[in-house]
Amino acid sequence: MRAARPRAVAATLAAALGLASAPDLDAKPVTVADLLAGSPAADWRVPNPDDTLYLELAHGRVVIELATRVVPQHAANIKALVRAHYFDGLAVIRVQDNYVVQWDDETHRRPLPPGVRPSVEFTADAQAAARFEALADRDLYAKEVGFLDGFPAGRDPGTHTVWLAHCYGMVGAGRDDSAESTGAEMYAVIGNAPRQLDLNVALVGRVLKGMEFLSTLPRGSGEMGFYVAAEPPAPISSVRLASDVPPAERTRIEVLRTESATFRSVLEQRRERREPWFKHNPGAIDLCNVPLPVRVVPTASP
């Protein structure tokens, strides 16, 4: 039943790798590493430094890309908070295993800087639908899934509504029972995709690098993973916009464009597993299992 697929895959891979013909199907299957190594420079993008956060923890830097076009008000709020050094000296105060880490002003004593306006933004604006790139695979939580500005997303084809999806490494703006949030309370997903949160809270971006500095934090033993008194919170030395950091101190990162031929080949390689290790071909891929490749560009020596 899947006999026709491998040839189509091979042709796609050949195109992505710039080969004149499809590779020999009996040869060693092409891996994601092969695809990335052979990808043209144009298939990668440099995140805008104005949309990139550096969250500095004791063990290293977490690089977060804000989804500014999807949640413009939250992005503006977070940039205002960051420029006011709102997060400096705060801490990660909650780490719930297989769920989320959260950082905010637990004491609620820090005043919000001017211009921060509580906002909802569970969905993107009407223009975003045109930028949505659909994934062929089904989904349990959304009628359609795919990618929006490089982030995993859902879509309702009836209403043309699009929204970001709670995959591993996605970052959101926490809230209480009111629908609004300001960005002053933030969280990142560190477990199995909690997709039940989709359309319930504004996702504002995703971790591009340094995820392990969040995912390895000690779990809190309080309710919902909050640290109790005996557990020291994980301090945040600072949060900065990359554009406010001297160029020499920036992390040079590139993200594979989801609209690129290389990305489509990566997706197909991960959906139809042809490596000798695989005895059963899954033939499907979950939105949150799609790799969204990121690479660090070495800084040229002076």
Which positions lie near its own copies, rule CB under 8 A? 97-98, 122, 137-141, 167-169, 176-177, 179, 191-196, 198-200, 211-212, 215-219, 270, 273, 276-280, 282, 284-286, 288-289
What does each C-alpha distance from 235 to 26, 178, 213, 232 come to in angstroms? 53, 28, 12, 9
Name which of 89 and 282 has its Cβ closer to its own copies: 282
Give dist(CA 9, CA 33) in Å, integer: 16
Name which of 86 and 103 has its Cβ closer to its own copies: 103
Name which of 44 and 168 has its Cβ closer to its own copies: 168
Residue 166 beta carbon to its own copies: minimum distance, rounded to whole angstroms: 10
Name which of 8 and 278 has its Cβ closer to its own copies: 278
Q: Is the dihedral of CA 146, 148, 151, 156 positive or negative?
A: negative
Name which of 88 and 180 has its Cβ closer to its own copies: 180
Residue 142 beta carbon to its own copies: minimum distance, rounded to whole angstroms: 10
Hey, how many other C-beta atoms are within 10 angstroms of the C-beta on 37? Answer: 9
Collect contacts of 58-63 with beta carbons under 8 A, ≥24 apart.
58/234, 58/235, 58/237, 59/213, 59/216, 60/210, 60/213, 61/209, 61/210, 61/213, 61/251, 62/207, 62/209, 62/210, 62/211, 62/213, 62/214, 63/207, 63/208, 63/209, 63/210, 63/242, 63/251, 63/253
Give dist(CA 97, CA 191) in Å, integer: 7
Residue 189 beta carbon to its own copies: minimum distance, rounded to whole angstroms: 9
Name which of 219 and 264 has its Cβ closer to its own copies: 219
Residue 225 beta carbon to its own copies: minimum distance, rounded to whole angstroms: 10
Name which of 26 and 177 has its Cβ closer to its own copies: 177
Residue 298 beta carbon to its own copies: minimum distance, rounded to whole angstroms: 16
Residue 123 beta carbon to its own copies: minimum distance, rounded to whole angstroms: 10
Both tokens of residue 112?
């919000």
Hey, how many other C-beta atoms are within 10 angstroms of the C-beta on 197? Answer: 18
Residue 59 beta carbon to its own copies: minimum distance, rounded to whole angstroms: 9
